[in-house]
Amino acid sequence: MQNESSLRIAIQKGGRLSEKTLSLLENIGLEFDNYKNRILVPCRNYDVELLLIRDDDIPEYVQDGICELGFVGHNVTAESRADVTHLRALGFGKCRLAVAAPKNSPIKSIKDLDGSRIATSYPVLTREHFEKQGLHIKTIEISGAVEIAPTLDVADAIADIVSTGGTLKTNGLVEVETILESEAELIQTNQPIPADKQELIQKFLMRMGARQQAEKSRYIMMNAPSDAVEEICRIIPSLKSPTVLPLAENDLVAIHSVIPTQQFWEVMEELKAAGASGIVILPIENMIV
Ligand code: PRP
Ligand code: ZN
């Protein structure tokens, strides 16, 4: 499905966010085939096409209106200073831009970096961070393998993305300070968008909202003695009006409801103590509230 006015969405080609972004799109019912080795990928069942590019290029493509939407790390958008609208955070791709120094160096706090050289792919955010604290540094701009710079004596410290911390550890570096917390986000162009595309965006956002809501919730079912219902509703306050069904067996009821995922783990023991049994928890595919 595709025509002149297809909605165009930029996503990262082959990187940390690619897989999760594609599965998010598939989870809201969009079908793509053959996106390997292609730059423009049409969607089979929605008037949208994907542009697969380097993440660093995404904010500018969206700013210029080449793509109406983009999925990208907040770190990349912030560094680019692109004029785009942040629509929503996506809850994955969590990482931080942090300053790190060799573990055996005398650099223990940010103040120790006054007058030093810092290697980074994020010169804008790094300079701004140090300027705000009245510290003078020299940024050495490197586009890849920043973590090796102190070993090569190209820099005294680095400012780079930390996710698991594995890269820092492998290279004998320790974090000194966080510059920016980040996660994947959906951005939108500030260029004028024609009404038909605007409508496609609204539908797209509604589907994403339903999916995000569903991920935060679980469907819970349990059996309990009917006189325990009140107590169970007290334990799970979000169970405002659960479905309570009588069971054939004397005085037992089945309780069904939707609860925040997190809550289940907190109250499981209490539910059992209140007399609940056969507790089943199910994922929800989509949820329109
Ligand atoms: C970052 C960073 C490190 C790695 C850190 O790269 O440059 O290489 O991730 O992750 P870790 O803490 O889990 O070891 P990124 O994925 O942002 O790649 P890119 O700069 O090439 O887009
Ligand atoms: Zn990148």
| SS3 call for 42 | strand
Residue at 1 is within a domain: no
Predicted confidence at residue 239, as pLDDT, reads 57
Structural domain total, the chain: 3
Whether residues 33 and 158 share a domain: the answer is no
| CATH number of the domain where residue 24 is located | 3.40.190.10
Whether residues 25 and 80 share a domain: the answer is yes
Please check the confidence at residue 2 and state whether its pLDDT lies above 50.
no
Please check the confidence at residue 121 and state whether its pLDDT lies above 70.
yes
| Ligand 1 centroid, distance to 181 Cα (angstroms) | 14
Q: Which of 16, 76, 126 to mutate to test the pocket of ligand 1 (most atoms within 8 A of CB)?
A: 16
Whether residues 194 and 241 share a domain: the answer is no
Of 182, 202, 233, at which residue does a domain stop? 182
What gap in Å lies between CA 57 and CA 80, rounded to an integer? 9
Predicted confidence at residue 238, as pLDDT, reads 66
Of 214, 234, 256, at which residue does a domain stop? 214
Whether residues 120 and 155 share a domain: the answer is yes
| Ligand 1 centroid, distance to 165 Cα (angstroms) | 9
122: domain range?
95-182
Residues with CB under 6 A from ligand 1: 15-16, 55, 121, 160-167
Q: Which of 57, 58, 92, 163 to mutate to test the pocket of ligand 1 (most atoms within 8 A of CB)?
A: 163
Whether residues 192 and 84 share a domain: the answer is yes
| Ligand 2 centroid, distance to 61 Cα (angstroms) | 15
Q: pTM of the prediction? A: 0.86
Using 50, 70 and 90 to split pLDDT, how confident is the model at 265? confident
Whether residues 188 and 117 share a domain: the answer is no
CA-nearest residue, atom 17 of ligand 1: 161
Using 50, 70 and 90 to split pLDDT, how confident is the model at 38? confident
| CATH number of the domain where residue 263 is located | 3.30.70.120
Whether residues 178 and 230 share a domain: the answer is no
Ligand in nearest proximity to the CA of 161: 1
- 115 in Cβ contact with 139 (< 8 Å): no
| Ligand 1 centroid, distance to 123 Cα (angstroms) | 16
* Chain-centre distance for alpha carbon 156: 31
Residue at 149 is within a domain: yes
Predicted confidence at residue 142, as pLDDT, reads 96
The order of strands in the sheet holding 7-12 is 40-42, 48-53, 7-12, 69-73, 184-189, 84-89
Which residues neighbour 132 within 8 Å (Cβ) at sequence distance 6 or greater? none
Query: 97: which strand partners?
Result: 161, 180
